[in-house]
Amino acid sequence: RTSSEPDDLLTLLIQANMSTDILEDQQLTTRSSHVNISLTFCVFRRRLTRRPGMQRKLRVELLQVATDSPTMDELNALPYLDTVVRETMRRHPPVPAMAHQAFVDDAIPVDTPYKDRYGRVRDHIEIKKDDLVVLPIISLNRRKEIWGEDAHEFKPECWEHIPKVAASVPGVWGNLLTFMGGPRACTGYRFALVETKALLFVLVHAFEFKLAIPAENI
């Protein structure tokens, strides 16, 4: 250390927060949380306008809350709000796919054998080091073998009794891969869910959403 370098704590803290890495992390956090929440709410609004009965049922539940500023625990205690959020995250995940790079050679087992391009029957997928593995989140969340024959329908009520296969999905939240799972799971998923529920609470509590034109003309 030279005599010209700062040695007081305040200056060191200021310099640490001006680091390029810190600024990039803040930029990533802002983009990933607020942009994804905005996209999710657009889906909510479309679903609520097309399903007036669902919107009324949700509003009745929200109006039963005794405060206009509910806590996180109070929001999480609303069962129908929770099922609507879960079903939206299942049918319309903010991130439809995720890619990971393999560090080592590996083999991924499959539940249904398939034929490769040479006609050979395979029960696994071979992965080589540095291969890019794309996880189709939206496809898995809508797969009939997991969620039943009505997997492509928007049905919040399905969360009252989810299929046995779906209950075994190792997602970090809600038996879904929307926020992934394991050590690579989304670290901010709790914040994203609370922010989503809070936004829905405020807007559905105060406004009624209707289609500007008949649904058949959309």
Please indicate, yes or no, whether residues 145 and 199 belong to a single structural domain of this protein. yes
- Predicted confidence at residue 20, as pLDDT, reads 55
Residue 14 lies in a domain: no
Residue 212 lies in a domain: yes
Please indicate, yes or no, whether residues 30 and 69 belong to a single structural domain of this protein. yes
- Predicted confidence at residue 196, as pLDDT, reads 92
* Residue found by looking up tokens 């609303």 in the block: 78
Binding residues, as ranges, are: 186
- Predicted confidence at residue 21, as pLDDT, reads 53
- Predicted confidence at residue 17, as pLDDT, reads 62
In this prediction, the residues of the chain whose per-residue pLDDT falls under 50 are: 1, 26-34
Of 83, 116, 135, the last residue of a domain is: 135
Task: Look up the CATH number of the domain holding residue 213.
Answer: 1.10.630.10
The residue length of the chain stands at 218
Residue 11 lies in a domain: no
Binding residues for heme, as ranges, are: 186
pTM of the model: 0.79
